[in-house]
Structure 1
Amino acid sequence: MCSKEFKVPALTMQEIISVGPQSNDESVKKCLHCVCYNSGNIYRKIENKVNDGDIKGASALLFSNDTIAPDSQDTILALREKHPSAPLTLQLPDPPLANDNSLQVNSKEVLSAIMSFRNGSAGGLDGLSPQHIKDLTCGSSGEAGRALLEDITRLINFMLEGKINNNITATLYGANICALQKKGGGIRPIAVGCTIRRLASKVCCKCIAHTINEKCVPIQLGFGSKGGCEAAVHATRTFLQNNGGEVYINILNEIDSIIHKTLSTLFNCQISDRAWTQASLPIRYGGLGVRKISSVSLPAFLSSTHSTQDLVSKILSKSLMNCDVAYMSEAKSAWVMACPNQNFPKLLNVQKLWDEPLCKLTYELLLNTSDEITERARLLAVSERESGYWLQALPSSHIGTLLDNSTLSLCLCLRLGLKINEPHRCVCGEGVDQSGHHGLSCQRSAGRMSRHACINDVIRRALVTINVPATLEPNGIVRDDGKRPDGLTLVPWKQGRSLVWDGTCVDTMAPSHIRATSMRAGAAAESAEAVKRHKYAAISQNYIFVPFAVETMGPWGPEAKQFYNELSSRLIETSGDPRAGTYLGQQISLAIQRGNAASVLGTLPRGSDLAHLFYLL
């Protein structure tokens, strides 16, 4: 079942924020309309949503055509028509007695409900937003946060007992209301209740959801029925078309073609069919995570049908006895043909398990059909876990994770192996081909020093966060050739010894490394760490030395990974935020990408007209 409105598939937020130029293709314009300045300060509103971490809200703004309704009598009348006053004869249940057993919850359940609020959720009449409570009760708030959580738990239990004073119920259970004007006419009322009341509702609903499910399914498929909407769709299709049908593959391919053209326009680069295949893979396989509809439709359908099969059977039990969901067998056959010699997943309701073999086959096909050694090295490198950290970062200018349009386009072209510039001569005198790879290893590259300094600063700030003060380029510690390491902790790291680290970023595509990196991902970084450890062998008795080597295409060396894992664990323990280690990895990955972009741009002659050389400016 498809909506008549065209909807753009999910992009990573780095890609959504970087809005590209216009296109003459009408289908692409239809996509770009959602991400350009289409009215007022919509771009600023989207950026604020992203800065708040409200990705869902930002996406809703991108695709919404609703506007604020005018402050008029007609709007008020429309709202009253949708929400009339309660009748005077309304009969409510008797309030609970003092000795009645009521639902009681603990602080763990309340904390879980607090954290389930969407980032950026608005507050009610009292102005208290869910984010306020999140910040005040998170792990880093310490004893004060735990005490506040206990007080909130007691308040929630007090509300569940029905003991709230009637004089404040109008405020506590009231809401702010906002009237939106629908594009097709009419009013869409949005009511935002007080956070404490919503919190109590969340806790209560979670406790009774299972009971509601047993009493209402399959007659009611809303609250308490997981996958209810999907089950209704599958049941309807099975009931109407129990004798088979056809899959409209051409429609899916047409949508994929529109996505392909839209990406090329957004990022101002020519994405070949082979590069589009790579881009449509998940980030963990070296792609951009912008999936082809034709690729995800089969795994999505199979996981959906299996997750709702029992519920569909209940819905159709009186009409069709022991009937499989429509097209399930055909979909299984199609998956077996696409993935020969593969067993069905152990968990049939998990889409990722159906999708994983398909993605792996596509990636291996790209790798095995690589004609050039550089392409193979690139595909191996970008499929490393650390290579995709930057694509998963929340693009926010407030925390320094937003890439400008030119940097983002350059980084995507390097990841996909696209043409970046016209062949020209570098400032060092060497020739630069259309891939722009020379700048990544050029000794006169503009990005080498900034990238190196940024990575070391990220490591130093992470150490300071866990209460381990550190300094960069310490005096008094030198290696055999007189050069100093990049950093030193001023207090012992472990075993009574301070930590000394020295970082480096080697080029995956450099002629000296390309043979090794085309055989094994991360080979250049591993080799660089071995060289560093040999050079600093003299200080290893008094200090714990860690070589931190990364590659331009993203992979990290084994010792860098080990140090990152240890540092991440301490960050999580100190901050109480389970995502703290992920944020560290994203910052390091972004530093690598910014350095790559600066290095590529640094090959240009000083002060020349760049327009005829670069596509991405």
Structure 2
Amino acid sequence: MVVLFPAVRDMLPHLGAPEDSEVGEHPLAAGMVAAMGDVRGARARVVEALGAGHPVPESLRVPEEAPVWGGFGSSQPTRQKELTNYQHGSDWLRLFEGANSSVRARLLSLFRDGATAHLNALPHDGGFRMRPTAAVIAVCLQLGASIPLVREVSAVGTGSCACGEVVDEFGYHYLACNRRGMFTYRHDAVQDVLYEMLRKVFDPASVKRTHVYHRSYSPHWRPDITVLNFDGRGRHLVIDVAIGFPCAQTHVDGAARVPLHTAAALERQKAYTYGDISPHRLVAFAMEAFGGLGEQAKQLLRDCARRRQDRLGPEMASATWSTPTFESYWGQRIMVALHSAQAFGLHGRALEDYPQ
């Protein structure tokens, strides 16, 4: 008690308990000891999962030292976050272990850095505003909750999409079905924001969306965006946006075991499609429908932030306190664009399939 909980020891005399009292004799002391026991159990669970190579949230880190309550002071806010991190990590593992493949795929995509950036966006003009319907659908997708209008479609009449497949209440079929251009909506929305960002990082005249001479550096496929001579040595930055759905039949088994499985598959697919375009650099800006960013996409954002020293410039006019840096600003813009476009397409599809 004296070693582990000096803060509690100092408090006991003021609470009418003797300083050398046994833990079980005072409710506060007993509660503190029990709480720390829970934290140590959570930490052990997290350490075991990390040691076994199990998938965990990207933000989950475990310091070498076991948690010890060492008194009050300036270090306590940091310590409190560490202790909370253990508990959240343990709860996440418990949820993950009891989930089916679709839920696991969703969790592994959501718990990657930046995947939920749109939830931090303050709704205002300048690319950060989501319509109420879009915000509801985005939250439903993140929580794995049924989407109101889609639930009605799945429950009324045949409950089928115009393509003939059964519509589920979570909207997963619509996210995997390209009828009426669902894939195009979200692809173009992300591409628009990416194009705007690159023009603020590189010479605007060098950033091209349709470059008629692309066969000279990308003979097999026309890229979405090209940054000409991006490094000053004659090399071009060739960017292709790709968005996949982790719960689609072709991805769900792998996505339930490996974080960003779908994004990695899209990166490999783009590399095969483009072939060897050296000395130029191909960036497959791969995203998952729940928000997970592929490694090449994250690297591009980091590279752009580094060129700008992670500072805001022209973006200051529409920045808020939640976007103090270049990376946070454009991370939110990209995620808002993705989820707004997905919601637009999903809601439109549900309206089409709603029984008249």
Q: Same fold (TM over 0.5)?
A: yes
Matched residue type, 1:356: N
Q: Report the CA distance shift for 1:606/1:567 in structure 2 as closer, same or farther (over 3 A).
A: same
- Would you say the 8 A contact 1:468–1:491 is kept in 2? no
Please state how far the C-alpha of 1:552 moved relative to its aligned partner. Answer: 0.2
State the alpha-carbon separation in 1 of the partners of residues 76 and 303 from structure 2: 35
Q: 1:529 aligns with which of 267, 270, 273?
A: 267
Corresponding residue number in structure 1 for 2:36 = 335
1:454 is displaced (CA, Å) by: 1.8
**SS in structure 2 at match of 1:602:** helix
| 1:544 paired residue number | 281
Which whole-Å CA distance do the structure 2 matches of 1:573 and 1:373 have between them? 37
Cα shift readout 1:477-515 (whole Å, capped 9, x = no counterpart):
14566x421011244335431211111101111100111
Q: 1:512 aligns with which of 239, 246, 250?
A: 250
Corresponding residue of 2:120: 392
Amino acid at match of 1:400: G
1:565 corresponds to which residue? 302
Could you tell me how far apart the structure 2 residues matched to 1:467 and 1:411 are? 32
The residue matched to 1:530 in structure 2 has which SS?
Answer: helix
Q: Contact 1:237–1:326 at 8 Å: present in 2 too?
A: no
Q: Which amino acid aligns with 2:111?
A: S
Residue 373 (str. 1) matches residue 101 (str. 2): yes
One-letter code of the match for 1:344? P
Distance 1:595 1:381 in 2: 18
Equivalent position of 2:179 in the other structure: 444
Is structure 2 residue 223 aligned with structure 1 residue 485? yes
The corresponding residue for 2:328 is: 582
1:499–1:543: 8 Å Cα contact kept in structure 2? yes
CA distance in 2, matches of 1:336, 1:583: 40
State the shift of 1:445 in Å.
4.5
* 1:439–1:445 Cα contact (<8 Å) kept: no
Shift of the alpha carbon at 1:605?
A: 5.2
| Alpha-carbon displacement from aligned partner over 1:265-321 (angstroms, at most 9, x marks no partner) | xxxxxxxxxxxxxxxxxxxxxxxxxxxxxxxxxxxxxxxxxxxxxxxxxxxxxxx99
CA distance, structure 2, for counterparts of residue 562 and residue 417 of structure 1: 29
Q: Structure 2-normalised TM-score?
A: 0.74
Judged with a 3 Å threshold, the aligned counterparts in structure 2 of structure 1 residues 579 and 328 are, in CA distance, closer, same or farther, namely: farther
Residue 320 of structure 2 is matched in structure 1 by none
Q: CA deviation at 1:584?
A: 0.8
User: Contact (CA 8 Å) 2:310, 2:326: kept in 1 or not?
Assistant: no
Distance 1:491 1:590 in 2: 30
- From 9, 16, 22, the equivalent of 1:242 is 16
Query: CA 1:518/1:465 → structure 2, altered by over 3 Å: closer, same or farther?
Result: same
Establish whether residue 456 from structure 1 lines up as the match of residue 191 from structure 2: yes
- Residue 418 of structure 1 pairs with residue 145 of structure 2: yes
In structure 2, what is the equivalent of residue 182 of structure 1?
none
Does the Cα contact within 8 Å between 2:40 and 2:67 map onto a contact in 1?
no
Q: CA distance change for structure 1 residues 507 and 349 in 2, over 3 Å: closer, same or farther?
A: closer
For 2:239, give the aligned amino acid: W
Q: 1:496 to 1:584 in 2, by over 3 A?
A: same
Q: Mark the CA change 1:418 to 1:608 in structure 2 (over 3 Å): closer, same or farther.
A: closer
Distance across 1 between alignment mates of 2:346 and 2:245? 12
CA contact (8 A) 1:503 1:548 kept: yes
Q: Name the SS for the 2:213 alignment partner.
A: coil
Distance 1:596 1:394 in 2: 19
CA distance in 2, matches of 1:573, 1:400: 19
Amino acid at match of 1:243: A
Residue by residue over 1:515-535, the C-alpha shift from the partner in whole angstroms, topping out at 9 and shown as x without a partner, is: 110011111111111110121
- What's the offset of the Cα at 1:547? 1.0
SS at match of 1:336: helix
Q: Are 1:556 and 2:302 matched, yes or no?
A: no
1:446–1:602 contact (8 Å) kept in structure 2 = no
| Paired AA for residue 402 in structure 1 | R
SS of the aligned residue for 1:509 comes to coil
> SS in structure 1 opposite 2:352?
coil
* Contact persistence 1:471–1:487 (CA under 8 A): yes
Corresponding residue to 2:82 among 353, 366, 369: 353
- 1:507–1:552 CA contact under 8 A, matched in 2: yes
Q: Are 2:239 and 1:501 equivalent residues in the alignment?
A: yes
Question: What is the Cα-based RMSD across aligned positions, in Å?
Answer: 3.1
Paired residue total: 297
In 1, the alpha carbon distance for the partners of 2:172 and 2:250 equals 13
C-alpha offsets along residues 379-435 of structure 1, whole Å, 9 cap, x if unaligned? 111111121111122222x22212122111111111111122131221322221111
C-alpha change, 1:331 and 1:574, in structure 2 (3 Å) is: closer
Residue identity opposite 1:399 in structure 2: G
Among 598, 603, 608, the alignment partner of 2:349 is: 603
Query: Higher Cα Rg: structure 1 or 2?
Result: 1
Residues 149-228 of structure 1 mapped to structure 2, 5 A cutoff = none
Conserved? CA contact 2:105–2:257, under 8 Å: yes
Equivalent position SS for 1:548: strand
TM-score by length of structure 1 reads 0.44
Residues 564 and 573 of structure 1: is their aligned pair in 2 closer, same or farther, counting only changes over 3 Å?
Answer: closer
TM superposition shift of 1:331: 1.4
What is the CA deviation profile of residues 6-37 of structure 1, one whole-angstrom value per residue up to 9, with x for unaligned ones?
Answer: xxxxxxxxxxxxxxxxxxxxxxxxxxxxxxxx
Which letter does structure 2 place at the counterpart of 1:593? H
Alignment gaps of 5+ in structure 2: 1-6, 45-65, 317-323
Tell whether the 8 Å contact from 2:224 to 2:241 is kept in structure 1 after alignment.
yes
Instruction: Give the C-alpha shift of residue 239 in structure 1.
Output: 6.5
1:344 aligns with 2:67: yes
> What fraction of aligned residue pairs are identical, expressed as a percent?
24
Query: Which amino acid letter does the alignment assign opposite residue 532 of structure 1?
Result: K
Letter in 1 for 2:131: D
Indicate the SS of the match to 1:390. Answer: helix
Q: Could you say which residue in structure 2 is the equivalent of 1:42?
A: none
Gap runs ≥5 in structure 1: 1-230, 245-319, 611-617
